[in-house]
A and B are shown apart, each in its own frame.
Chain A
Amino acid sequence: MFGWFLRGAASRIRTTTYPHQSDSSPGTTPGRPVATAFADGQEAQRAADMCPVRAIRAVDSTAEVDLSRCVHCLSCVRGTAAMKWKNDYNWAVSGCGGTTTTGRAFRKSLSIRLIDTGSCDAVIQEVKQLAKPYYNMHKLGFFITPTPRQADVLMVTGPVTSHMRLALKKTYDAMPDPKWVIAVGNCAISGCVFAPSFMSGGAVSNIIPVDVQVPGCPPPPLAILHGLLVLTGREQEIDEARATTGVEEKK
């Protein structure tokens, strides 16, 4: 066992410098398509037609992106009318019909309960990464808690299948006030490729109020971390992400 102690002590620190400095290590994020100006409207329409989930819309000669529908299939960057791509991750948006940020008391101490309502395994793996050495959200005061009774934040993944609807409501009701909800991944935000259907009602916000949305398929750990920081008022959301996620329209 002593060998493990030495092994642990000898390992170098790998934790991300985010949020103190932005993290630009390669491979931390898949990036996102951003609004792209084309030569004419026809070409913008060609770019929009490349998208299998209609997340891109041609407005005059610009192709605009709805990030909450994008499934990261990357077909829009491989076509002839290629979209511009931005390798950032701070795209979480708040105020999606729920309350605002948590306020001072929870800034540096927040307990999170995850509930999986039909997501693919990948998004849960990305949430798990937050508690692992590379992202280590514990240093920011964020912790995963086993029970909803101790949770301040409910993180919801997946398109809310019919069989999980009751479990979601019960989990939400079991949480003490004040409480907040983060919808992680496009499945939770819009149902994505699995909705509308006989098993999924689409968005989590149809069932319980949502405070912060983290788009992505799956969102990288840094984006989820950004969502938590936006919720606690420690990071600003970027206006551009707000515009592309269509939060205003939904209100």
Chain B
Amino acid sequence: MNQRTHPTDDNIMISMLKELGDIVSNILESESGRLLAAACRADTLSSAVAWLVDRRKYRFATLVVQALPSGDLLDYWFYKPDAGPWVKLSVRLSGQARTVPSISEHVHAVDWHERQAEDLFGMTFTGHPKLGDFVLHEEWREGVNPMRPEFDAVKPMVEKEVDPRWHPEKILRTPGAFLMPIGPVYSDCAESAQFFLETVGEDVVRMIPRFFFKYRGVEKLAEHRSILDVLLMVERFSGTSAVAHATAFCRAVETIGLVAVPPRGEALRLIGAELERIRHHFSLLSDICHSTGMVVPSADIDVMEEESLRLSAQWSGHRYLYGLVSPGGVARDFSTSELALLSNGITGLAHAARRLYERLQFTSSFLDRFEGVGVVPMLNARRLGLVGPIARASSFKTDLRIHAPYGFYRHCPLAVEALESEGDGYARIRVLFAEVFASADIIKRALANLPDGPVMLPEQAVPAGEALGYVEAPKGAAFHYVRIGENGGVERLQLTTPSFTNWHGFHLAAENFAFQDFPIMMASFGLSIAESDR
């Protein structure tokens, strides 16, 4: 959704017509030239996707399923870093048909999206290796799909009696092999999720995660609610990246309304997002130091984390920056003294972080636990479409602030993408530190070039329409699909969060490493379950 830089991509529409003419139909380019929509039949979906991903180097963004009165509609959204319009491939099913061929064998990033659609919409993806028991657990009655329009979002669910003999299926069948279940309630103040570690003693051979213990059904609850009501939920379903998700949602709404946020509003959104990133990364780094029992450095980072929380509260009124972003801009303007306070605070935090980083780099007992541990090779990161700091630690370029700049990032670009090549725990730590410094730098530059003017557009009705809003959240790329109905309410919301994308690749890091490294791996991945479970 940026200016087209590669002239060869300008004619994706023409080449699609030429090469895929007999597969896809209704190729339409949006007025802004940012989106190319095409329709295809279920049986030719795989060849169209293969062409897009293999030949045109497009990446999968999200799969949006919608149950419309005329039949189910599946939209596969793709984007290409640094170039070209985004592509939406639609498959329309007629009547009661719910069967689509699975494309996850070719594009692995779609795997969990298909499993999710199977549970929530009752779709069947032929050829998918593992469907069932994903979002909805064994308490849920079979054949009831909560995202179908006839399902009542407010009526409490009647739970099914759980078979007490239920146990996870063991895959490892060698003598002495055992399965170690962790969670959903486990030691420390941790979020609820379950992990089955299969082992023969020392190394984790298989790691099977089980999520959605915290499934609150935000996407279902959002249906037929007003935009402001949904914004409250979008901000609060994952409190540690509230600004990022609120911005993604608001950007989708603004795209539908065809409105442009005033430059000062965009700049303040950037500042809020980067302040959130700094605080978020401090919290991850603190967990990382805790996981190795490094008391002094973790206390140091804890202090920085609390100071960034206090700075956020002093600046915006809320420790987690709730209520900052609103459709059309930001909710309030800031005075010169408030901005100076932020600027000084950021300088202090960046300085403290730099000193700590220098010390940590020379602490061998710390580095020994991370170097060469939990390695995610670049090819695997690409294969599973990982995002955020985890992907960047495996030198997989994914930063949307650089590769599809939005908002104020177009005027105030990020200097350089934090990339490391090893893909191990230490590389991830280096990426986190580098991003803290980059965020501090970009806040400084945004403050220096802060435009004047209003921060928010006057309130206006949003017309019916659909759009995909995206941001680079602290954990990686987040895509919010929003469809607004005729009455101005939200008809469909789909949250594709970086944690959901990256948990899919967590087994890469956890498998084939020692048992006692598991907590360290969890910390160095630093993923949120609230964000993935929604």
Contact = CB atoms under 8 A, between A and B. Distances in A.
Do A and B truly interact?
yes
Interface of A: 1, 3-5, 7-8, 11, 14, 25-31, 52-53, 71-75, 77-78, 114-129, 131-134, 144, 146-148, 158-159, 161-167, 171, 192-194, 196-201, 217-218, 220
Given A27-B313, A218-B239, A132 B302 contact: yes
Contact of B137 (A28, A132, A163): A163
Contacts of B533: 118
B297 A71 contact: no
Contact of B151 (A27, A75, A78, A198): A198
Nearest to B236: A120
Interface string B516-533: 000000000000111101
A164 B323 contact: no
Nearest to A145: B187
A150 B159 CA distance: 30
Contacts of A53: 232
A106 to B, nearest CB: 20
A90 to B, nearest CB: 17
B165 interface: no
Contacts of A124: 189-191
A8 B297 CA distance: 8
Interface in B105-151: 137, 139-140, 146, 151
13 contacts: A27-B319, A74-B323, A75-B323, A77-B317, A120-B240, A129-B302, A129-B309, A132-B286, A161-B215, A162-B157, A194-B218, A194-B236, A218-B239
A121 B299 contact: no
A64 B142 CA distance: 46
A96 B206 CA distance: 45
Contacts of A119: 214, 530
Nearest to B531: A121
Given A52-B232, A78-B331, A28 B240 contact: no
A4 B297 CA distance: 8
Contact of A128 (B155, B189, B359, B528): B189
Question: What bracket does the count of chain B residues touching chain A fall in?
Answer: 35 or more
B152 interface: yes
Contact of A129 (B154, B240, B306, B529): B306
A25 B188 CA distance: 28
B216 interface: yes
A163 B212 contact: yes
Nearest to B233: A193
A4 B310 contact: no
Interface string B284-322: 001000000011110110110110011111100111101
B153 A27 contact: no
A7 B217 contact: no
Contact of B313 (A30, A114, A116, A158): A30
Contacts of A116: 189-192, 214
Contacts of B220: 197-198
B444 to A, nearest CB: 20
Interface of B: 137, 139-140, 146, 151-157, 159, 162, 184-192, 212-218, 220-221, 228-229, 232-233, 236-240, 242, 283, 286, 294-297, 299-300, 302-303, 305-306, 309-314, 317-320, 322-323, 331-332, 359, 363, 365, 528-531, 533
A26 B186 CA distance: 34
Contacts of A192: 236
Contact of B365 (A1, A72, A121): A1
Contacts of B186: 146
Contact of B317 (A30, A71, A147): A30
Nearest to A4: B296
Given A27-B309, A167-B213, A197-B154, 12 more contacts: A4-B359, A14-B303, A30-B319, A116-B190, A118-B533, A120-B239, A129-B306, A163-B212, A192-B236, A193-B232, A194-B221, A200-B217
B385 to A, nearest CB: 23
Contacts of A73: 232, 322-323
Contacts of B216: 118, 159, 161, 194, 197, 199-200
Given A7-B300, A8-B296, A122-B239, A117 B192 contact: yes
A120 B238 contact: yes
**3 tightest Cβ-Cβ pairs between the two chains A and B:** A122-B239, A27-B310, A146-B187
A48 B191 CA distance: 35
Given A27-B313, A144-B189, A199 B363 contact: no
Given A198-B153, A200-B216, A162 B139 contact: yes
Contacts of A122: 239-240, 242, 320
Nearest to B210: A163
Nearest to A127: B189
B80 to A, nearest CB: 32
Nearest to B212: A163
A79 to B, nearest CB: 11
Contacts of B185: 115, 148, 167, 171
B522 to A, nearest CB: 14
Contacts of B155: 198
Contacts of A52: 228-229, 232
A166 B194 CA distance: 14
Most chain B CB within a 10 A radius of its CB, from A25, A120, A122: A120
Contacts of A75: 323, 331
